[in-house]
Chains A and B, each alone.
Chain A
Amino acid sequence: MVTDAGVEAATETAVVADHPAVARLRERFGDQIIAMVTFRGETTILVERESVVEVCAFLRQDPELRFNFLSAVQCCDWLGHEPRFEVVYHLLSMERRDRLRIKVGVPETDLTVPTMTTVWSTANWFEREIFDMFGITFVGHPDLRRILMPDDWEGHPLRRDEPIGGEEVAFTS
C-alpha cells in the first residue's frame, strides 16, 4: 500500500469514509482505490495516479453519483514525505449537492499526472497553474505553459523548498 503523508497523518483524527461513492468506486476499480478518509464531514479518496482520469470520468458519468462539476484542481507539497506532491481534484455534484475530493500522490522522481482536461475543460488553467507553481507535468495537456510567472522564470515558487523573500531588493543601504 502506497503511503501518503496527508492521508496518513489525517487518519489520526478521522474515521473511515462512508460516502456513497466509496462503495461504487471499490466495486468498479478495486485496488486502484488506495485509501479513503472522512475529516470534518468531507470525504477524500486517494487513488492510483494512472487511473485518476478514469475514476473522475466514472464519477461524472455514474447515474447515482453525478459529480458533474470540477470545482478546482489544486496541489500540495509535502516536502520530506513520500510521495512528495499531492494533486487534489475537488468534485461537486450539483444535483446531489455533494462534494468529493480525489487525490493522487506524485513522487519527486516522476513528476507526471495524466491530464484531466479530457473530462472537464476547466482543468486546463488549474493544471497550468500547478505546472507553473510546482513543476508537475500533466501528460496530454493541450497547452502546458507557465501561466502566472514569466516564461523565462526559473524554479517553481510554491514548492516548500523555494525561499520566501530571498530576492535582492533594490535601493537598500
Chain B
Amino acid sequence: MNEPAIQIQNLTKCYGPHCVVNQLTLEVPKGCILGFLGRNGAGKTTTIRMLMGIVPPTGGSARVLGQPADAWTPELRARVGYLAEGHHVYGWMTVADCGKFQASFYRHWNWDIFHAIIKHFNLRPNHRAGSLSRGQRAGLCLAMALAPEPELLVLDDPALGLDPVARRSLLEAMIYVTRKSGRTILFSSHLLSDVERVADRITVMDRGILRAYCTLDDFRARIRHFVLHFDGTPPSAPDLPNLLHSFRTDRELAVTLVNADGQAESILETLRPRRIEQVDQGLEEAFVSYVGERGEKSFFLHNLGARS
C-alpha cells in the first residue's frame, strides 16, 4: 500500500548520440511535493514527458501510481493531473466551454474547485480562451488540471512567463487546493522562491543527470560558501574535495563546497587567511552555485589599473 507515486529506474532519453536524460533513477513517495530543479536543457521536461507517456524513452522504465508509464490507461490518466509548460487551451473555446469539454472526459469532476480557481483568477465564463492573458490561461489550465482532484499532479514549469502577481495567484491556488488533500505533486521550475514556498523536497538535474535528491534544508546545508580574507593577493584555491567553484579578487578568495566536512576547513586554514567567513546561502544562491560553472575564476582590480 506504500507504493511510491512515481518510480523511475535508469530512465534514459537520447536523441542520436546526445542523451538528454541519462540513467535517471528516483522514487517519489505519495503525499510529497517535489520541486524538480535544473537549468534549461537539464532534462526536466523530457523526464516529465517520458513519465506522461508522451515521449518514448530510449532506455529504462518508469511507473506512475504503480502502473508502467509506457502503457497509460484511461483510468490512470484520470488519476493524474498534468499541466504542460505552454498552458495550452483551445483558443476558440470560452472558459465555460473549456470546463465543459474537459469535464466530459472525467467521471469525477469537482465543479466547485473549477469555479473557485476561475474566480481566483478573475475569469468570466464567457471569456474566449484565446483572448486570456498568460496568467489567466495558466489559471484556467490549473483549474482544469485540479478539478478532477487527481492523486498525482504533474506541473511542468507552471509559472513560466508569468508576472509575480500571476505567479503568486497560481501558487496560492495550488497550495490551497492541494495541500489539504495530501496529494502528490511534482513540479518543475526555475523560480527557486516558488519552490522554497511550496516544496517538501527537491531534485536537481544537471545535463541529464540527477545530482541531488534531498530536502530543501539539506540542500542548503550541504552547500557551503566560505570567504577567505587576505592582506595581500590571495593564493589560488587549493585542491579541495568537492569544490564547486572559487572566485579570487584582490583581497579575497571565495570558495563554494558541497558536502564539505571539517577536513575542507582545515585545508582552507593552511592558506593562512586573515579571516575565514562562512556565508549562509539561500536556496537560489545554493542552486546557482550547485549547477553553475565550476572551476576557478578571478577578477583583479590592480590588473585593470596596470593596463590603464
To the question of whether A and B form a pair in one complex, the answer is: no
Tell me the B residues contacting A by CB distance below 8 Å. none
Tell me the A residues contacting B by CB distance below 8 Å. none
